[in-house]
């Protein structure tokens, strides 16, 4: 996903974080960690999801997404697009450099749960596309297990139902494992993504 128009006016990371936290429309995704996980799932998933489809999932259905004037909402959209492109470029060009942007607990410790919840939030309306990985009885489940194991119980149950109990135990330092899982998922879904793109262009 790329959009050079107005890139210079896109919100930077800090401004975007403040916008998500303080937006009067109460956006569904209200912090950078959740946004990073959400966008990561879209980048590596089985099918390209158009920004017009996923932006309301981030900013809310009432957000002004007309993109006809330089509003704060448009600058936020540009900032989100820049984050999407950053993730996609890193995973494509320097996968070993990819790192999830986790949140922090009140006492300053790394907290992977918001990121993992964001990843799951992107999957929930697209469970049919991800179903091969959401079957705990299949070998492919091991690719997504490290992510869902660190998500909130609500997210795990929403995606797996009672089989959320089959998840692995959380790790003390999960960043390398989760980063590796994202890289693996990108490679796994790449043939599906390419096929979906070819079919859409016909």
Domain boundaries, the chain: 7-201
Tokens of 81: 């697009």
Is the confidence at residue 23, as pLDDT, over 80?
A: no
Determine what percent of the chain is predicted with pLDDT higher than 90.
74
Average pLDDT for 62-86: 82
89-148 pLDDT tens trace: 999 999 999 999 999 988 888 999 999 999 999 999 999 999 999 999 999 999 999 999
Is the confidence at residue 68, as pLDDT, over 70?
A: no
Average pLDDT for 49-70: 80
- Name the pLDDT band for 2 (thresholds 50, 70, 90): very low
pTM: 0.91
**Of 1, 82, 64, 78, the residue nearest 27 (C-alpha):** 64
Predicted local distance difference test score (pLDDT) of residue 55: 92
- For residues 32 and 70, what is the distance between their CA atoms, to the nearest angstrom? 22
Residue pair 118/150 in contact by the 8 Å Cβ criterion: no
CATH architecture of 7-201: Up-down Bundle (1.20)
Q: Do β-strands 110-111 and 103-104 pair in parallel, antiparallel, or remain unpaired? A: antiparallel
Tokens of 72: 């704060």
- Name the pLDDT band for 30 (thresholds 50, 70, 90): very high
- For residues 125 and 166, what is the distance between their CA atoms, to the nearest angstrom? 22
Is the confidence at residue 84, as pLDDT, over 90?
A: yes
- For residues 99 and 118, what is the distance between their CA atoms, to the nearest angstrom? 15
Residue pair 67/156 in contact by the 8 Å Cβ criterion: no
What's the gap between Cα 179 and its chain centre? 13
Predicted local distance difference test score (pLDDT) of residue 64: 67
Predicted local distance difference test score (pLDDT) of residue 75: 87
Is the confidence at residue 198, as pLDDT, over 90?
A: no
| Mean of the per-residue pLDDT values of the chain | 90
Predicted local distance difference test score (pLDDT) of residue 130: 97
- Per the DSSP assignment, residues forming a β-bridge with 103 are 111
């Amino acid at each position: 996903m790329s959009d050079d128009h107005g890139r210079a006016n896109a919100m930077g990371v800090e401004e975007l974080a403040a916008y998500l936290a303080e937006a009067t429309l109460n956006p569904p995704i209200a912090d950078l960690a959740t946004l990073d996980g959400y966008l990561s799932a879209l980048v590596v998933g089985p099918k390209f999801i158009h920004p017009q489809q996923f932006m309301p999932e981030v900013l809310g259905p009432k957000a002004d997404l007309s993109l006809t004037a330089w509003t704060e909402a448009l600058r936020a959209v540009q900032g989100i697009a820049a984050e999407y492109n950053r993730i996609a470029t890193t995973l494509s060009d320097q996968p070993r450099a990819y790192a999830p942007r986790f949140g922090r607990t009140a006492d300053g410790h790394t907290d992977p749960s918001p990121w993992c919840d964001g990843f799951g939030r992107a999957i929930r309306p697209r469970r049919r596309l991800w179903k091969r990985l959401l079957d705990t009885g299949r070998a492919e489940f091991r690719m997504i297990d490290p992510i869902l194991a660190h998500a909130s119980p609500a997210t795990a149950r929403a995606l797996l139902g009672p089989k959320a109990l089959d998840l692995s135990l959380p790790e003390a330092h999960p960043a390398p494992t989760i980063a590796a899982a994202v890289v693996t998922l990108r490679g796994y879904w790449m043939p599906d993504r390419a096929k979906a793109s070819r079919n859409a262009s016909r």
